[in-house]
A and B are shown apart, each in its own frame.
Chain A
Amino acid sequence: QSALTQPASVSGSPGQSITISCTGTSNDIGGHNYVSWYQQHPGKAPKLIIFEVTNRPSGVSSRFSGSKSANTASLTISGLQAEDEADYYCCSYRSDNSPCAFGGGTKLTVL
């Protein structure tokens, strides 16, 4: 069982916006701003799309945005495109003996 909870799947039509949640505790998401998000296409390595809650690496589309409220972080993808269909994982620093936790992953289907 993952330390961070994500919905198993979300879906949306091209052009729409979707939001993926990532829920933790005050020991991880709620206590720090070291939350990152990764996109993974089948058979490929993950790709960093958001770091430190809201920041996008150079080259990542502005359609991807991140936010946080209390113990829940969120990834929003606006203007959905077919190539956004992938698995998405959140990751957070944890203030305990295992300092990094991933969420269980969310499969995004573009209808």
Chain B
Amino acid sequence: QAQLVESGGGLVKPGGSLRLSCAASGFIFSDYYMTWIRQAPGKGLEWLSYISGSGRIIYYTDSIKGRFTISRDNAKNSLYLQINSLRAEDTAVYYCARDSGSGSFRFDYWGQGTLVTVSS
């Protein structure tokens, strides 16, 4: 059974940085595209970024380009999201998810989420 566990969230001051991690288990991690999705309090889902199994294909939503960096370490079965220049509007639960459709946005397994709060 596939499992995803996010970590790295917390309270950060505006302008600060965070690195979120997602530990994968129960499947061949390198075979799958992985994605980050966030949900602000009381709001809907927002897709942020995805990365191919090899790491060679990466896409971001326009609103985060230049501040967020997705990466993966297949040897450690881990996915990462580096977030810089944090703003209040980045406050959200951040989910990692597996894309079983190889970039077709079939997110079949999700982590429990990690909460990022940006406040002074």
Residues of A within 8 A of B37 (CB): 102
**B120 on the interface (CB 8 Å rule)?**
no
Contact of A45 among B46, B59, B110 (CB under 8 A): B110
Which of B9-17, B19-27, B74-82, B98-106 is near enough to bind chain A? Answer: B98-106
Asked if A100 CB lies within 8 Å of chain B CBs, one says yes
Residue of A nearest to B61 (CB): A98
In the bound complex, CA of A105 to CA of B42 (Å): 11
Residues of B contacting A103 in the complex (Cβ-Cβ under 8 angstroms): 44
Shortest Cβ distance from A40 into B: residue:
B45
**Is B108 a contact of A91 with CB atoms below 8 Å?**
no
Q: How does the 8 Å CB contact mask read for B83-120 relative to A, with 1 for contact and 0 for none?
A: 00000000000010000010111111011110000000
Q: Are A45 and B105 in contact (CB under 8 A)?
A: no
Count residues on chain B whose CB falls below 8 Å from chain A CBs.
Answer: 23
Shortest C-beta distance, A35 to chain B (Å), equals 9
Chain A 72-111 interface residues, beta-carbon cutoff 8 Å to B? 89, 91-93, 97-105
Do A93 and B104 touch (CB < 8 A)?
yes
A91 close to B101 (CB less than 8 A) = no
CB contacts under 8 Å to A, within B36-51, are 37, 44-47, 50
- Dominant SS among interface residues on chain A: strand
Residues of B within 8 A of A52 (CB): 101, 104, 106
Interface pair A45/B112, CB less than 8 Å apart:
yes
Q: A36 with B111: in contact, given A99-B59, A104-B44 (CB under 8 Å)?
A: no
Interface pair A92/B62, CB less than 8 Å apart: no
| Contacting residues, chain B, for A38 (C-beta < 8 A) | 45, 107
In the complex, whether A18 has a CB less than 8 A from a CB of chain B is: no
Which residue of chain B is the closest to A100 with respect to CB atoms?
A: B47
Task: Point out the residue from B60, B101, B110 that lies within 8 Å of A46, measured CB to CB.
Answer: B110
20 contacts between A and B (CB under 8 A): A36-B106, A36-B107, A45-B95, A45-B113, A48-B106, A51-B108, A52-B106, A91-B45, A91-B47, A91-B105, A91-B107, A98-B59, A98-B60, A98-B61, A98-B62, A99-B50, A100-B61, A100-B105, A102-B37, A102-B47
Binding site for B on A (CB under 8 A): 2, 34, 36, 38, 40, 45-48, 51-52, 57, 89, 91-93, 97-105
